[in-house]
Amino acid sequence: MLAIRAARLFDGVADQLRARPLLLVDDGRITDVDTTGADPPGHAELVDLGEATLLPGLVDSHAHLALDASSDSVGHLAGQADDELLQACRAAARAALAVGITTVRDLGDRRFVTLRLREELAAHPTDGPQLLVSGPPITTPGGHCWFLGGEADGVDGVRSAVRALAARGVDVVKVMVTGGNLTPGSVPYRSQYGPAELRAAAEAAHRAGLPVTGHAHGADGIADAVAAGFDGIEHGLFLTADGVRQDPAVVDQMAARGVVVSVTAAQNFPLGQLPPGIEPGSELAKRLEALARQSRAIIAAVLRLRAAGVPITISSDAGIAPHKPHDVLPWGPGTLASVGFSGAEALRAVTSLAAEACRVGDRKGRIAPGYDADLLAVAGDPLTDLNAIHDVVAVFRAGARIR
């Protein structure tokens, strides 16, 4: 049995920190959280983290371990054999775990390489985060990220694609509802699928017991996916041909059904600026510049979601480009705080809320008895200064200290 003492505790939920926590960990799980100042049991091995604050390990609800965070991540992927790709995914997973990301939901690989990694990491948890994987996202022929291998056409095509993914053992179904920035020629605000295909995807996923989340930049695509019964929306920018348009009725429906919006804005530079490391004049640079010009309207849309009570997580989209390395998620809470979220809200968006969005809210994202001992310890008080999250003192995965 392990006993972990620290100065403060953020339990993943509460607005206030608790003082002088003593955690008991047995067989990879938290068995007790004591704040009475009691001594650890005599047979426990004590790890005293001094002035550190303990938090639940972070949960990234949207990442791509198969993309290498270079300025040509898609080109590099095309040139990689599967075993080489798996090796790169292992390194990406280790990089995430090193900064305290203990759960990663991978929303797009090629040929189920992350499924192989999921099994490896289940057997050797200290080698990386717990993985939840979608496999190749379902997309229209030639549509956004078609090169990942998930093309499906029409209602019947989409339905059988979902069944095939479920048979492979994925944790979540990802559908490219609209176009995206990573695919040349794809238009982010434009819908790829109509209401009938989206309904078929949602019904087939739910029948298989799986959640379904939709990549959706466009306002029309978001509305259609929500009406079709999707559980989550990735990006969620509400773009149209000429700006941002958010239908309050759609927002109300999202709040009523608890449709989670995963805002993929974890980044280590201010919102509204062009990320460093992007080739000037490239198609991606032009697209990101156009998005930056919309940033005020996009932020306003996120704040309206928040005001309506729509659950918001912040995630990384790690791997797609140089400004999205696989360890970028800890910058996410600061991004949310910069638009007015409280410290506790911003931290919930990468812990308890993100875990619930990934359907592991009963095991991850909180520090409480029965939860996995996936922990991050940082110097200082992250509730008053979110930068403290980068000052890592220790990381535990399934009760084992890896840093």
Q: Which residues bind Zn ion (CB under 5 A)?
A: 317
Judge whether 208 and 356 are in contact, CB under 8 Å: no
Q: Which is nearer to Zn ion, 5 or 323 (CB)?
A: 323
Task: Tell the smallest beta-carbon distance from residue 316 to Zn ion (Å).
Answer: 9
Q: Which is nearer to Zn ion, 102 or 139 (CB)?
A: 139
Q: Which is nearer to Zn ion, 56 or 108 (CB)?
A: 108
And the tokens for 292? 């930056």
Residue with tokens 């949960």: 59
Count of all residues that appear for the chain in the document: 403
Q: What residue type is 113 in one-letter code?
A: V
Q: Which is nearer to Zn ion, 317 or 327 (CB)?
A: 317
Q: Which residue is nearest to Zn ion (CB)?
A: 317
Task: Tell the smallest beta-carbon distance from residue 107 to Zn ion (Å).
Answer: 5
Task: Tell the smallest beta-carbon distance from residue 264 to Zn ion (Å).
Answer: 6
Q: Which is nearer to Zn ion, 11 or 317 (CB)?
A: 317
- Tell me if residue 401 falls in helix, strand or coil: strand
Q: Which is nearer to Zn ion, 197 or 317 (CB)?
A: 317
Neighbours of 65 (CB within 10 A): 29
Task: Tell the smallest beta-carbon distance from residue 72 to Zn ion (Å).
Answer: 16
Q: How far apart are CA 360 and CA 348, in angstroms?
A: 14
Q: Strand 232-240 vs strand 212-218: parallel, antiparallel, or unpaired? A: parallel
How many Cα atoms occupy the beta-carbon half-sphere of 57 within 13 Å? 37
- 243 forms beta bridges with 240
Task: Tell the smallest beta-carbon distance from residue 92 to Zn ion (Å).
Answer: 14
For 138, which DSSP code?
Answer: B
Task: Tell the smallest beta-carbon distance from residue 180 to Zn ion (Å).
Answer: 8
Q: How far apart are CA 221 and CA 188, in angstroms?
A: 10
